[in-house]
Amino acid sequence: MRTTSEAHPGHPFFTAGGPPRHTTEEETHVSFWRRLNEDLDTARTHDPAARSNLEIALNYSGLHAIWAHRLSHRLWRNPDRRLLARTVSQLARWATGVEIHPGATIGRRFFIDHGMGVVIGETAEIGDDVMIYHGVTLGGRSLEPVKRHPTIQDRVTIGAGAKILGPLTVGHDSSVGANAVVVKDVPEDSIVTGIPGKVRRRTPEKQEPLVDPATYIDPAMWI
C-alpha cells in the first residue's frame, strides 16, 4: 500500500521518518487563539468594508472556509480519519461556496475575499500572507496521485477568476491578474495578466500591496 509521502513526494506535512509531530494540548490552545485573532486582524487589514471582529467572525464566508480547512486538514493528517476530513470539507463547501481539499497546505494570514467559487486542490501549497479573490482555481493537470497543484509563495495576490494550473510555482511578492490563466512558473516580484498568462517584472511603481495587476496594464494593449 502506498503511503501519502510516496504519493506526494516532498509534501511538507509528512516526513521521511514517519507521521508529523503532534502538538501538545497547551500548544494547540495557545495556537488556536493566536491564529483566530490573527485571522480577524488579517480580514480587517485586507477589507476596508470590515467594521468589527464580530461582523467578520459571523459573516465572512472566506474566513469560515479557512477555519473549516484547518479542522479538515488536521483530520486528514491521520489516515484513519480521511473520510471524516473529506466530509468536513464538503460541508464547508456547501456552507461557504469555497472548496478546499483537506490535503492542501495553507500558511498563516491567508485571506479569501468574497469567497464564492474558489477551488484549491489536494496538493496545493500556499505560503504566508497570501490573498485571493472569488472564482480562483488552484487546479491540477494530471490524473496521477503526485504533486499536481500549484505552489503559491509568500505575499502573493491572485485576482478574481484567475486559474493557476499544474505543479508550478508562483514566486513570492507576485500578483496574478483577474481571469489570467497561468500554466508556467512565475518568478518572484512579477505580475501576470492575460490568457495565457504573460509575466512582467514588478517595477517599483507597481509595488502597491493587494492591488490586482490588471490595474497596471494599458487598456489599449487589448484593442
Q: Does residue 88 form part of some domain?
A: yes
> How high is the pLDDT of residue 70?
94
Cβ pair 116, 161 in contact under 8 A: no
Element (DSSP H or E) covering residue 31:
helix 25-46
Q: Does residue 87 form part of some domain?
A: yes
**Cell 500548544 identifies what position?**
27
The range of the structural domain enclosing residue 117 comes to: 10-222
Q: Does residue 3 form part of some domain?
A: no
Separation CA 115–CA 136 (nearest Å): 9
> How high is the pLDDT of residue 36?
87
What domain count does the chain have?
1
Q: Over the stretch 83-127, which tens digit does the pLDDT of each residue have?
A: 999 999 999 999 999 999 999 999 999 999 988 999 999 999 999
On the question of pLDDT at 27 being above 50, the answer is: no
> How high is the pLDDT of residue 47?
86
Q: What average pLDDT does this structure show over 200-221?
A: 63
Cβ pair 188, 174 in contact under 8 A: yes
Separation CA 96–CA 113 (nearest Å): 12
Separation CA 120–CA 122 (nearest Å): 7
C-alpha cell at 31: 495556537
Q: Does residue 2 form part of some domain?
A: no
C-alpha cell at 176: 496574478
Separation CA 68–CA 100 (nearest Å): 9
On the question of pLDDT at 6 being above 50, the answer is: no
Looking at residue 219, the DSSP 8-state letter turns out to be: G
Q: Does residue 148 form part of some domain?
A: yes
Q: What is the pTM of this model?
A: 0.79
On the question of pLDDT at 159 being above 70, the answer is: yes
Q: Does residue 1 form part of some domain?
A: no
Could you tell me which of 126, 177, 133 has the C-alpha nearest to residue 155? 126
Separation CA 190–CA 184 (nearest Å): 13
CATH of the domain at 138: 2.160.10.10
> How high is the pLDDT of residue 19?
38
Other C-beta atoms closer than 10 Å to the C-beta of 160 total 18
Report the DSSP pairing between strands 198-201 and 190-193.
antiparallel
Q: At what angle do helices 61-76 and 82-96 cross, to 10 degrees?
A: 170
Higher pLDDT, 8 or 103: 103
Q: What average pLDDT does this structure show over 64-77?
A: 95
Could you tell me which of 154, 156, 149 has the C-alpha nearest to residue 131? 156
Gyration radius (Cα) of the chain, Å: 18
Q: What average pLDDT does this structure show over 32-49?
A: 87
Task: Categorize the per-residue pLDDT at 50 as very low, low, confident or very high, splitting at 50, 70 and 90.
Answer: confident
Reported as half-sphere exposure (CB side, CA atoms, 13 A), residue 201 has a value of 2
Q: Over the stretch 169-206, which tens digit does the pLDDT of each residue have?
A: 999 999 999 999 999 999 999 999 999 989 988 776 66
C-alpha cell at 126: 500556499
Amino acid code (one letter) for 113? D
Higher pLDDT, 31 or 19: 31
Task: Categorize the per-residue pLDDT at 217 as very low, low, confident or very high, splitting at 50, 70 and 90.
Answer: low
> How high is the pLDDT of residue 33?
80
